[in-house]
Amino acid sequence: IHSLEYQALRNPSHFFDPRRYALDHRKLLIVDGKTSFIGGYNIGSLYATEWRDTHLRISGPAANDLAQSFVEFWNRFCRKDQEISHHYTRIFDPVINLRGNDALRLTFPIRDMYIDAVDNAEHTISLTNAYFVPDSVLFNALKSAAQRGVDVRILVPWNSNHFVVDWLARRYFTQCLKAGIRIFGYHTMLHAKTCTIDGQWSTIGTANLDRLSSLGNYEINAEVYSKELAQKMEAIFKSDT
């Protein structure tokens, strides 16, 4: 078993670079490069038995993208003698796309993915997240969707593991209700990061709807165009609410 402890600050100059304070918040498991898992699930007894979460299994060629994402991150932060030499060939898949935030490069496509999908919603938005503290652009996109007739529903834990974040999230609730957005509170810690739109588009991944995930941490989300998956995600959302 080989392990790598991610160290954001590796020399004194890094203390003065805000990009270096980003955390690796991704949760990935890749088996033989053929089966990959992505989502909110952490490894530990607390997460296994007490928290509600959602993880996605990807089988087939699309799993290569997650495998190569793991390899690239590992090789970027390990010693030269620890590098993984195997390369997984990436593919362009019209059904599954991966969106990954990269703090050092200041690229944050997950936030843009959410905004674009919400702007294009016509009928329904079912959004589940552990921490609902969106930036003004995303929040305005959600309110605009509701005001043009989209059924926007947001599910969050009523009491999460961060009471300060709960307090911050509640500041948005009045504006949500005035805009026609429905808010649902889950009875225990809900850690899933998912969204389904119009019964055909879904995202499942590691990014919370807060500043750290949107414009800070290393994150990765799967964007899936599948009516079959969307129907399953809507059924899960209905069960949770």
What residues act catalytically? 25, 27, 32, 191, 193, 198
Tokens of 56: 């996605």
- Give the Cα separation of 45 and 50 in Å (integer): 8
Size of the chain in residues:
241
Tokens of 50: 């007490």
Residue type (1 letter), 93:
D
Contact assessment for residue 214 and residue 207, using Cβ atoms and an 8 Å cutoff = yes
Q: Which of 17, 6, 38, 18 is nearest to 212 (CA)?
A: 18
- Give the Cα separation of 57 and 35 in Å (integer): 7
Q: Which of 208, 197, 218 is nearest to 72 (CA)?
A: 218
